[in-house]
Structure 1
Amino acid sequence: MIKYTRFFITLLFAVIAFAAHSQSTATTSSPYSRYGIGDIDPQLMPQNSAMGGIGVATNKFGYFNNINIINPASYGAINLTTIDIGLYANFLTLNQTGVSSQKNSNFRLSHVAFAIPVSKRSALSFGLLPYSERGYNFKNSVKGTGSSPADTNITNYTYSGDGGLSKAYIGYGFGIGKHLLLGGNVSYIFGTLKDISTTEIPDLVGTINSKIEQSNAISGLNYDYGVQYSFDFSETKHLVLGYSASTGSKLNSQSSFIVSQYFTDVNGNQDVPLDSIINRQDAKTKIKLPQTNRFGISFQSDGKFLVGADYTMSKWSGLTGINKGLQDSKTFNVGGQYTPNIASLRNYFSSVDYRLGGIYDETYMVVNNTRIKRYAVTAGLGLPLRPNNGSFYKINISAEVGKRGSLVNGLVKENYINIHLGFTLNDRWFQKYKFD
C-alpha cells in the first residue's frame, strides 16, 4: 500500500508540473527561435543528452532501466517501474559584428516521464516534456523617420517573441522473440507562439507609437513509432540496430492579429493602448509537421560500456501553415558511456557512469543566404545512490557546450551551455509477491 500511495503522490506532482508547464512562457533567449515553430527540443533524458544525444538504438544502460522517448520500441526492455524527472538550465552568449555581446540564462522543468511494465517483455510509458520554444528580443534603431532630410529623430524598431509547444505522450513497447522490440507513441502537442513588433520615436514628444502582435494557438495529435533489433555476441555483449520516426501529422492552428497604438511615459514604458486599429481572429487552419526519420546503432557490454551513433533527418521544407521557406535538417550524434566497476562497494567512483559525446546539426534555417549550423560536445555523469528495499536510484547530470550560427553576413553567433539534471528511480511497485 505504501508503494501505491507513493506512486499516486508522484503522479499528483506530475499533474501539477503539467499544468504549470503548459502555462509557462519562453525559456529560451535565442534570435533563431523566431523561425519555424521555434527551437525544437531533442526530447531526451539527461543520460542520453550526455552521450551526444544518441538514443535510437539504446534501451537499458548496463542493468539500469531508462525511458527513451525518441524510440518507443525501447519500452519493451523495461522490467521495473521507472520514473524520470528533470530540470534544465541554459546559459547563452550572443555575439554580432559591431555589437556588444549579450548574455542570458534560463531555467525550467525539463521533463516528467513514467514507465510501468505490463508483462515480462512490454511496458507502458507516459509523460510531459517541451516540444519547441520561442524567445527572442532585439532592436534596430534608424536615424530619421523619412519625413524630412533634416529629421534626426531616432526610430526604434523592436522585435520579440515568446511561448512554445509542449508534448504530452503515452506509448507502449513490446518484444517479439528474444531480439526484436517494437513500439509507438501517441502525443498531444499544444501551446501558443507569439511574435510582437513595435515602432517608437522616443525623442519626438506626442508621437503615437504602434504595435503589431501575432499569435498562433496550436494543438493536435502526433504519432511516433520505432523498432530495435539486437544481435547477441554473448550474454553481456550486444549490437543493436534501431529506427524510429515521427509522422508528418497535421495540427490545428488558430491565429490572431492585433495592431494597436499607444504613448510612452517619461521612462519609456508603454501606456495603456489608445485603440486597436486591427483586431482579427482568423479561421482555424492546419500546420503540417515534417516527417522525421532516425537511424541508430549501438554496441554495449552490459555493466561496462556503451557506444553508439545516430543520424536524423527531418523534411522541414514541407512545413505548411506557418513560417515557410525552411530547409530539411540533418543531425549526427555520437557518444557513449563507461562504468569502471558497476558492482564496486569500496570505491564509489568506480560505479559511476562516465559519458561523452558530440553533435553536428544542419538546422532547418537559412538566414541571409547562410545555412545555420550547430556544433557541440557533451559530457555527463550517472551517479548511483544507495539501493533501498529493492529500489534503485540514479542522479544523471549532463552538460552540452556548443555554438550555433556565425559572424558572417550580419548573423548572430551563439555560444551556449545547456545543463540537464535528472533523477531516475527503478522500483518494483506493481509486482505481486508469492509466499510459500
Structure 2
Amino acid sequence: MKHYHRIPLMLCSFCAVSLFIIAQNNTNLPTSMYGVGELSTSDGGRYAGMGNIGIALNRTGFQNTLNPAAITRMDSTCFIFDVGASASYARYSFQNDHSSSFMGNPNRFSIGCRILPRWYAMIGAAPYSSVGYIIQTEEEVEGMPGSYTYSLFEGSGGLYRCYLTNAFALTKRLSVGINLGIILGTVTQSETQESAIVEYESSKRAFYADFGIHYEFNTIGNQKWAAGLVFAPSLQVNHENNLTYSNSSTSESVDKSYHSRTQYLPMHIGAGISMTTERWVMTTDYNYLDWSRNTSSYTSMKYENQHKLNIGGAYITNPRLPRSTELMGGIGLSNSYINLRGGKMQYLEVSAGASFPIRYSYLSLGATWRKQINSRSSLMQESRFSMNLNITFGERISRSKLR
C-alpha cells in the first residue's frame, strides 16, 4: 500500500500556514516530530535591519537581548522601554504546487534601567519557538483501486520566554551579564481519521539561563573594537501531557495523561565582534546550537546541530548629533535543525532597515528576505519577506536617585 501525503506545512511564529504538496513516502509523517517547534532566531529590535545581530553591540538606546552583558551603555537617566511587532509574507512550493501566507503579531516587550552606577537590569518577554502545521494524507485501500482513506494532522501553539537580565560593568571596558527566566507554553496536536479524533495537548515549561561577556578593546585611531561571547546550557523541558480520543460513530471517548520522550533546550554558544567609527558600525555574529541531547523515535527524522553566521552594518548619517538616523543592512546563512529523510535545509537571509531618532526615542524599521537554498528537488522550497517595527523610548527619572 502506498502512502501519498498532501502536506500544508511550515512552522511559523504565532501562526499555522498551509502548503499543499503531494510527495511519496513509505512512513506516516508524525505530528510530534518537531520537538519544541521552530526557534525564533531573535525578537526583532532596533537593529532588525542588520539581520537581528548584536552579540558585540553595546550602544546607547539599544535594548540588547542577544547578549545579557551588552546593556551597560543604557541611558542612566531613563527607564528604557522597547516594544516591537512583526509581519511577514511567505511563499512555499514543491514541484508544481504552491501556497502562500501572511501573518502579523507583536513580538517583543522589555523595560530596562540602571539600578546602581555599575549595575543594569532589564525585564522582558519574547517568543521562543512556535508550532503550526496541517498535514493531510491519502492512503489507497489495498485491494480496492480508486478507494482512499484520509487522515488529517494538525498542530498549533508555541513557547514563550520571560526573562530578567542583570549586567555589571566590572571595568570601563569589561561587562558581564546573566539572563534568568522561564520558557513556557502549550502545543496542541491532533490526528483525525474518518470519524475518530485523537488530540495531544502538551503544556511545556523549562528553566532558562544564559551568560554573556562583553569587552571593548583599545581604540585604533577613530576605530573602536568590541567582542562578545554568550553561552546557554542545555536544560530539560518538563511536560504535562493529556490525550483525548473521541469517535462520533461509536460514541467512544478517552481522556487521560500520557508519557512522551524527554526534550531539551539546545545548548547555545555565540560569539561576535564589532567595529565602530564616527559614521560606521560593522559587526558579525556566529551562533552554534547543539541538539544532540534530543532524539527522535521516527526513522524518517533526526536532529541536526545548527550553525548561523550573520554580517551586518549601519551607516550613521549625522555623527555630530547625539542621536542620528542610521541606515542598516545585513546578510546571513544558516541551516535547519530538522533533517527529514536525509534532506538538509539551508537558508540565505538579506536584511535592510533604518532607525530614526525622535527626541529620546527611536523608531526602527527592518525588512528581511529569506530564501531556502538547498539543491534537492525533493525538499520543499520556502521564501519569506518580513517586516519588523520597533519603538524604543525613554522615561526621564531624577539623576539624584542614581547617585
Give TM-score, length-normalised by structure 1. 0.79
**Aligned residue for 2:153?**
159
Q: Deviations over 1:217-240 (max 9, x none)?
A: 101211010001111316963101
> Are residues 192 and 257 of structure 1, via their aligned partners in 2, closer, same or farther at CA, if it must alter by over 3 Å?
same
Alignment of 1:169-188 (within 5 A): 169-188=163-182
Measured in 1, the distance between the counterparts of 2:307 and 2:378 equals 24
Cα gap change, 1:318/1:370 in structure 2, threshold over 3 Å: closer, same or farther? same
Q: Which residue number corresponds to residue 7 of structure 1?
A: none
One-letter amino acid matched to 2:357: P
Q: Residue by residue, what CA displacement relative to the aligned partner does 1:59-82 show, whole Å, maximum 9, x if unpaired?
A: 10xxx3211112100122223421
Partner of 1:123: 120
Match of 1:27 in 2: 15
Counterpart Cα distance in 2 of 1:216 and 1:238: 48
Q: Could you give the per-residue CA deviations for residues 103-127 of structure 1, whole angstroms, max 9, x where no partner exists?
A: 1111111001111111233211001
C-alpha displacement at 1:253, in angstroms?
Answer: 1.0
1:368 to 2:358 alignment: no
CA contact (8 A) 2:95 2:377 kept: no
* 1:418 positional shift: 1.6
CA distance in 1, matches of 2:164, 2:71: 11
Cα 1:284–1:398 change in 2 (3 A) is: same
Match status 1:289 vs 2:283:
no
Partner of 2:283: 308
Q: Which residues of 2 match residues 15-414 of structure 1 at below 5 A?
A: 26-29=14-17, 35-60=34-59, 64-78=60-74, 79=76, 80-99=78-97, 101-142=98-139, 144-146=140-142, 148-150=143-145, 152-200=146-194, 209-233=195-219, 237-262=223-248, 274-276=251-253, 278-282=254-258, 287-302=263-278, 304-319=279-294, 325-343=302-320, 351-385=324-358, 387=359, 392-404=360-372, 406=374, 408=376, 410-414=378-382
Aligned counterparts of 1:430 and 1:112: Cα–Cα separation in 2: 24
Seen in structure 2, the aligned counterparts of structure 1 residues 284 and 369 have a Cα distance that, compared at 3 Å, is: closer
Quickly say closer, same or farther: Cα 1:229–1:75, change in 2 above 3 A.
same
* Rg larger for: 1
Q: Which range is displaced more, 233-242 or 74-83?
A: 233-242
Q: Distance in 2 between matches of 1:109 and 1:351?
A: 26
What SS does structure 1 have at the residue aligned with 2:47? helix
Report deviation, 1:258.
2.8
Alignment partners' CA distance in 2, 1:102 and 1:183: 43
Q: Give the letter for the 1:249 counterpart.
A: L
Query: Comparing 289-298 with 319-328, which one deviates more in the overlay?
Result: 319-328
> 2:389 & 2:251 partners in 1: Cα distance?
46
Letter of the 1:383 counterpart: F
Relative distance call for 1:428 and 1:233 in structure 2 (3 A) is: same
**Equivalent pair of 1:381/1:398 in contact (CA under 8 Å):** yes
Contact 2:55/2:273 (<8 A) preserved: yes
2: CA distance between counterparts of 1:379 and 1:125? 27
Partner Cα separation in structure 2 for residue 415 and residue 212 of structure 1: 33
Unaligned 5+ runs, structure 2: 1-12, 20-30
How many Å apart are 1:286 and its aligned residue? 5.0
- Contact 2:18-2:101 within 8 A present in 1 as well: no
Q: What is the rounded CA distance, in whole Å, between the counterparts of 1:109 and 1:212 in structure 2? A: 32
Is the CA contact (8 Å cut-off) linking 1:121 and 1:174 kept in structure 2? Answer: yes
Alignment partner, residue 421 of structure 1: 389
Residue in structure 1 matched with residue 6 of structure 2 by the alignment: none
Shift of the 192–328 alpha-carbon distance from structure 1 to 2, 3 Å rule, reads same
**1:30 to 1:432, Cα distance in 2 relative to 1, 3 A:** farther
Q: Would you tell me which structure has more helix in proportion to its own residues?
A: 1
Question: C-alpha deviations, 1:123-169, integer Å up to 9, x for none?
Answer: 11001110001111232334x433x335x334322222100000000
Residue 407 of structure 1: how far off its partner (Å): 7.2
Note if contact 1:126-1:171 (Cα within 8 Å) is conserved in structure 2. yes
User: Using the alignment, how far apart are the partners of 1:120 and 1:33 within structure 2?
Assistant: 48
Are the counterparts in 2 of residues 72 and 185 from structure 1 also a CA contact under 8 Å?
Answer: yes
Distance 1:135 1:284 in 2: 19
Deviation at 1:284, TM superposition (A): 8.6
Deviates more, 1:336-345 or 1:185-194: 336-345
Other structure's SS at 1:432 match: helix
| Higher share in strand | 2
Once residues 404 and 136 of structure 1 are traced to their aligned partners in structure 2, the CA distance between those partners, rounded to angstroms, is 18
Give the root-mean-square deviation of aligned CA atoms.
2.7
Q: Which amino acid aligns with 1:57?
A: A
Alignment check: 8 A CA contact 2:344 2:374 kept: no
* CA distance, structure 1, for counterparts of residue 263 and residue 399 of structure 2: 43
Structure 1, unaligned stretches of length 5 or more? 1-24, 201-208, 264-272
Looking at structure 2, the residues matched to 433 and 119 of structure 1 have their Cα atoms a distance apart, in angstroms, of 9
- Measured after TM superposition, the shift of residue 45 of structure 1 is 3.2
